[in-house]
Amino acid sequence: MNELPIDVLVNKDNLLPSDYYPKDLITTDENENNFHKYNDHQLKPMIRRDIYPYVQKMIEDAKQEGVEIIVDSGYRSYNYQQKVLDKLIEEVGDAAYQKVALPGASEHQTGLAFDIAYYRNGVFDDDVKEEDKEAIWLANNSYKYGFILRYPKGKEEITGFQFEPWHFRFVGLELAHKLYEEGITLDEYYARKENTSLKR
C-alpha cells in the first residue's frame, strides 16, 4: 500500500488494513512512551518524517510563548492498538469503545496523528485537560501548522469519540485552516465533499 495522503479519513467506517505502516517514520524525541503500564517501554514516539518539520515548528513556537509540549503517543501499529483497546476494556468495559479506536480505525496507525503531553518541572504529564494552557494554546494555534484538534467537544456524535483535547492530526496547512475557520471536523468535511450523511 502506498503512503497515505495527508488528508486521509480514518475512522470506524474507513479502516486501515492490518498490515499498513508508514514507510518513513522518525522518532520525535527520546522520551519513553510509557505513561501507561501496558505500553511497550521500548516504543519511542514516532511520526511520519514529512510532517516532522511542522511538529518541530509548532513545539518551538509554543515554547516561545511559555507552553512546553511534547509528542506523547505517535505511531501505533494495528497490533499495538489492539493491546491498548484490550487493556482498557479490562478496566472500563464497553465504555472503552468511546475512548479508544478499534484496530484499523486509529489515526495513530497513519503516522499523521499524535497525543500530546506536557513537560513541567522536569516531569512529563499526559493528564491533559481542556482548561490547561497548553491545550488552549494548541486548540487555538495548531491549525497554523497544519494540525487539527481531531475530536473536539460537541462533535462526539459525529466523530464517534469522546472529546480529546490531547489528540492532534496533521491534514496540511490549507485544509487545517479551512476546518478551523468553518468549525467542522474532518468527518464533516468528507461528508460534504461526498454528499453523505453522518449518522452513527
Task: Give me the residue label for grid cell 484499523.
Answer: 104
Return left, alpha or beta for 69; rule: phi > 0 is left, psi -120 to 50 is alpha, else beta: beta
C-alpha closest to that of 101 among 10, 196, 35: 10
The fraction of the chain above a pLDDT of 90, given in percent, is 70
> For residue range 139-149, what is the model confidence (pLDDT) as tens digits?
999 999 999 99
Would you call 32 a catalytic residue per the annotation? no
For residue 200, pLDDT beyond 50? no
Which pLDDT band, with edges at 50, 70 and 90, does 199 fall under? low
Instruction: Identify whether the C-beta of residue 138 lies closer than 8 Å to the C-beta of residue 47.
Output: no
- Whole-number mean pLDDT of the chain? 90
The full set of domains in the chain, from first to last, is 25-194 (3.30.1380.10)
Q: Which of 164, 174, 182, 188 is catalytic?
A: 164
